[in-house]
């Protein structure tokens, strides 16, 4: 009961002032409902919020330009303070997380696509350009327009893609949730923090909620993780410094999983809603993605 009461901020800005991400999320949800109820009258405030978000994203983007230097400093700090042996533990963390992501593909995404009537690996080949791009940028936002266009060309109705894909970007963070769980357990072990099963379940539940507030900007997962650990007081927040050096390797993997999961979810929901052209999807997946203007040029050339 105490935990639930602490979700409610004392004032409108107290959650922001104290850096309590759960209170911020609670207020944001209520504020979103209020804006939706206001309808057209809320449009000026929406424009202000959108402009503010654009400015914040620019600041975060500027900070991420020096992230390689920051990563070098983080690795140097970790090695100098904890010894070269710490690199072995970090390497094990990276390998373990990659294995976890692989198991997620095999045990979750593959069965879902199989019973939905399409091939996971063909879909990944279809969006391979976007998957390769997120591996380099560690940001799902960089491929949103292209992914939107490809899923429509694949045979999903525009209305379904326009609803499910943006919703997935906000709420369907499969890879991010795996990252939070793996890193939280690693930090608990590294700091000799004993976590009973009740604390592990509580921490997982909080992480599942706070992951929905993560922006699609490279590096935001670290901020959300830090705020969550501060809110739960289960694991020392300062221990995050241990994984800063390998965060980029981890983020590339979980963003890759996020994008694949969102693409799968869009196709599956389109199938549920009878908004999927299955013959077209099969033909597109078998042939691989081809730019529409290239197809038009080839058709015109053939007619001549």
Tokens standing for residue 128: 């391979």
Contact present, 212 and 169 (Cβ < 8 Å)? no
- Global confidence as pTM: 0.71
Q: How confident is the model at residue 123 (pLDDT cuts 50, 70, 90)?
A: very high
So where are the chain's domains? 1-65, 67-303
Q: Which residue has the tokens 């072990």?
A: 189
CA dist., res. 143 & res. 169, Å (int): 11
What one-character-per-residue DSSP string does 203-239 give?
Answer: HHHHHHHHGGG--SSTTHHHHHHHHHHHHH-SS-GGG
Q: Which residues have CB under 8 Å from 251's CB, separation 6+?
A: 138, 179, 218, 219, 221
Give 119's DSSP letter.
-
User: CB count, 10 Å around CB of 265?
Assistant: 19
pLDDT for 192 beyond 70: yes
Per-residue confidence (pLDDT) for residue 302, from 0 to 100 = 46
- Segment 201-209 mean pLDDT: 75
pLDDT for 31 beyond 60: yes
Each residue of 41-100: pLDDT tens digit?
A: 888 888 888 788 777 767 766 765 676 676 677 677 767 776 777 678 888 889 999 999
pLDDT for 212 beyond 50: yes
Contact present, 230 and 19 (Cβ < 8 Å)? yes
Per-residue confidence (pLDDT) for residue 95, from 0 to 100 = 93
Per-residue confidence (pLDDT) for residue 295, from 0 to 100 = 47
User: What CATH fold (topology level) applies to the domain 67-303?
Assistant: 1.10.3860
């Amino acid at each position: 009961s105490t935990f639930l009461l602490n979700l409610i901020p004392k004032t409108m800005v107290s959650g922001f002032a104290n850096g309590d991400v759960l209170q911020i999320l609670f207020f944001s949800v209520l504020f979103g409902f209020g804006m939706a109820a206001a309808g057209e009258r809320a449009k000026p405030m929406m424009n202000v919020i959108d402009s503010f978000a654009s400015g914040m994203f620019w600041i975060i983007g500027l900070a991420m330009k020096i992230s390689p230097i920051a990563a070098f400093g983080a690795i140097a700090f970790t090695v100098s303070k904890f010894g070269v042996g710490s690199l072995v533990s970090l390497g094990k963390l990276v390998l373990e997380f990659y294995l976890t992501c692989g198991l997620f593909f095999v045990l979750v995404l593959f069965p879902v696509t199989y019973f939905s009537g399409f091939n996971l690996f063909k879909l990944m080949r279809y969006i391979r350009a976007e998957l390769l791009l997120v591996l380099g940028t560690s940001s799902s936002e960089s491929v949103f327009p292209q992914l939107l266009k490809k899923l429509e060309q694949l045979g999903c109705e525009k209305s379904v893609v326009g609803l499910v894909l943006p919703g997935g970007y906000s709420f369907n963070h499969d890879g991010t949730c795996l990252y939070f769980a793996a890193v939280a357990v690693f930090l608990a072990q590294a700091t000799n923090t004993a976590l009973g099963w009740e604390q592990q379940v509580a921490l997982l539940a909080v992480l599942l909620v706070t992951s929905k507030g993560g922006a699609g900007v490279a590096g935001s997962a670290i901020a959300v993780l830090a705020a969550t650990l501060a809110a739960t007081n289960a694991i020392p927040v300062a221990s995050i410094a241990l994984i800063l050096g390998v965060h980029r390797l981890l983020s590339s993997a979980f963003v890759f999983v996020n994008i694949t999961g969102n693409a799968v979810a869009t196709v599956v929901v389109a199938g549920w809603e009878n908004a999927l052209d299955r013959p077209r999807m099969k033909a597109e997946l078998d042939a691989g993605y081809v730019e529409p203007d290239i197809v038009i040029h080839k058709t015109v050339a053939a007619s001549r």
